[in-house]
């Protein structure tokens, strides 16, 4: 199962790294950022259903003994299958989508580019045939050396192509942007994936405390310490199959906040600098994370803890900014490299938080939140094109 989960993570990471670059290349500068936020908004709507699905599946009593393979099939296994169905459907649907016209044009495939543009024109309601006498590339193609050797598809040619697409990201022209984007992605994923891995555990512990001690309050970290002590002193080796109802409630609250915030950002992203949005979100959410540790009121602390994870919205805004920093030839690779750093942050965060949270809960929050505040400062040094970007209508080339 661990091997299958690893393979699943590899393929999901690859798809999530390229999908936003793919979507962006079907749009002009005027609509690119907005459509990326709309796609994130749709993702958040889908995530809203997760607490309902979890509650409907996980909190069931049934079990199926499959003795012939030495397996007890419980609700959580069914939950994993249910979560995989949307990905399977999307993977099949992607097969029928066309290649990015900008990518085709960057590869000097003008006829194929025209075919994709005509297909887009028809799908958007065009009745007459779209006449495209000439195509003009928007970017300078000199940044990437494309190695083409027909009939040679060895591992060496693959690695050479990958090298040629990666090295320009770390040259002087893009080095500052690449380092800032990668560092910010790393810490964003430390919180939104690494620290979030312990969200059910911490929220469930707080829910148990409020249920067993009505009217009483305690600091978040004290509840975590008590929960850890009970687990250490317990003689029961069984793992709980259910979660407190408050855990689902706070999960739903977080998804509702995600959807609402994505909707607001979608409306303002063409009017407000992406830099302003990212810095504001990071400072606000990190402050809530610090306050969650300091405030002694359990219910308020739980809500602030939920708000901390809204910093994940900055991942999508940073993705929208990243595609504006690089030309078409480097855009997908830039997204891949930045999200690779993010995935590394997920792994580091999950393990470091797991090692610290039970005994050094406050330190875990301090490190995560102050690192994010430092990233907010770094974002101020991104190229001016992001901090001052207010998309304007530009003449379109055909």
Residue 205: closest CA among 244, 233, 250, 254: 244
Give the number of other CB atoms < 10 A from CB of residue 9.
Answer: 13
Supply the pLDDT for residue 154: 64
Q: Quote the CA–CA distance of 48 and 261 in Å, as a whole number.
A: 13
Distances (CA, A) of 245 to 104, 214, 240, 256: 51, 15, 14, 17
* DSSP assignments along 142-201, one per residue: GG------TT---HHHHHHHHHHHHGGGGSHHHHHHHHHHHHHHHHHHIIIIIGGGGHHH
* Cα maximum dimension of the chain: 77
Bridge partner residues of 44 (DSSP): none
Q: Which residues contact 131 (CB under 8 A, 6 or more apart)?
A: none
The gap from C-alpha 255 to its chain's centroid, in whole angstroms, comes to 14
What radius of gyration do the chain's Cα atoms show?
24
For residue 318, give both structure tokens: 């940073």
Q: Quote the CA–CA distance of 192 and 318 in Å, as a whole number.
A: 14
* DSSP assignments along 22-56, one per residue: HHHTTS-HHHHHHHHHHHHHHHHHHHHHHHHHHHH
For residue 294, give both structure tokens: 């300091």
Q: Quote the CA–CA distance of 321 and 36 in Å, as a whole number.
A: 10
Residue 209: closest CA among 293, 290, 299, 289: 299
For residue 87, give both structure tokens: 């990905």
Residue 47: is it exposed, middle or buried by C-beta count within 10 angstroms (0-12/13-18/19+)? middle
Domains of the chain: 173-233+242-391 (1.20.1250.20)
Q: Quote the CA–CA distance of 143 and 279 in Å, as a whole number.
A: 30
Supply the pLDDT for residue 379: 93
Judge whether 269 and 277 are in contact, CB under 8 Å: yes
pLDDT, one tens digit for every residue, the chain (398 residues) = 678 777 777 777 667 767 777 887 788 777 777 887 788 778 778 777 887 888 788 777 788 888 777 777 888 888 888 888 888 888 888 888 888 887 788 777 888 888 888 888 888 877 777 777 777 665 545 555 444 454 445 677 767 777 877 888 888 888 999 999 999 999 999 998 888 888 888 888 888 888 888 888 888 999 888 887 776 555 554 555 566 677 888 888 888 888 888 888 888 887 888 889 999 999 999 999 999 999 989 889 999 999 999 998 898 889 888 878 887 778 778 888 888 898 899 888 888 888 888 888 899 999 999 999 999 999 999 886 543 444 443 444 33
Supply the pLDDT for residue 386: 40
Q: Which residues contact 179 (CB under 8 A, 6 or more apart)?
A: none
Q: Quote the CA–CA distance of 73 and 348 in Å, as a whole number.
A: 31
Q: Quote the CA–CA distance of 131 and 387 in Å, as a whole number.
A: 37
Residue 190: closest CA among 380, 365, 377, 11: 365
Residue 149: closest CA among 141, 140, 160: 160
Supply the pLDDT for residue 134: 74
């Amino acid at each position: 199962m661990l091997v299958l989960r690893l393979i699943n993570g590899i393929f999901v990471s690859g798809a999530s790294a390229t999908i936003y670059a793919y979507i962006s290349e079907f749009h002009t500068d005027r609509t690119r950022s907005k459509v990326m936020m709309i796609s994130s908004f749709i993702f958040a709507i889908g995530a809203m259903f997760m607490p309902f699905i979890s509650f409907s599946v996980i909190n069931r009593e049934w079990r199926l003994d499959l003795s012939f393979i030495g397996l007890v099939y419980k609700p959580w296994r069914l939950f994993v299958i249910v979560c995989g169905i949307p990905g399977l459907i999307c993977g099949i649907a992607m097969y029928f989508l066309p290649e990015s016209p900008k990518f085709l044009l960057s590869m000097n495939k003008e006829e194929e580019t025209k075919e994709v543009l005509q297909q887009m024109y028809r799908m958007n309601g065009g009745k007459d045939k779209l006449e495209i006498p000439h195509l003009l590339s928007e970017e300078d193609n000199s940044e990437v050396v494309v190695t083409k050797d027909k009939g040679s598809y060895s591992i060496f040619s693959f690695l050479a192509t990958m090298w040629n697409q990666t090295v320009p990201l770390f040259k002087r022209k893009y080095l500052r942007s690449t380092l800032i984007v990668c560092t910010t992605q790393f810490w964003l994923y430390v919180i939104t994936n690494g620290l979030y891995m312990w969200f059910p555990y911490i929220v469930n512990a707080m829910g148990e405390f409020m249920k067993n001690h009505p009217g009483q309050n305690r600091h978040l970290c004290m509840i975590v310490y008590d929960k850890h002590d009970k687990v250490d002193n317990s003689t029961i080796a069984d793992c709980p199959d259910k979660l407190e109802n408050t855990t689902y409630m706070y999960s739903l609250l977080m998804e509702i906040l995600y959807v609402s915030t994505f909707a607001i950002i979608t409306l303002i992203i063409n009017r407000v600098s992406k830099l302003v949005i990212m810095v504001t979100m990071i400072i606000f959410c990190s402050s809530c994370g610090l306050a969650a540790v300091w405030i002694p009121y359990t219910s308020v602390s739980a809500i602030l803890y939920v708000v901390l994870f809204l910093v994940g919205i900055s991942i999508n805004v940073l993705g929208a900014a990243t595609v504006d920093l690089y030309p078409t030839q480097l855009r997908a690779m830039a997204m891949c490299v930045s999200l690779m750093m993010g995935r590394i942050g997920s792994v580091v965060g999950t393990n470091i938080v797991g090692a610290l949270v039970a005994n050094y809960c406050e330190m875990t929050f301090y490190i995560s939140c102050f690192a994010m505040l430092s990233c907010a400062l770094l974002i101020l040094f991104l190229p001016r094109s992001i901090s001052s970007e207010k998309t304007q209508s530009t003449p379109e080339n055909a």
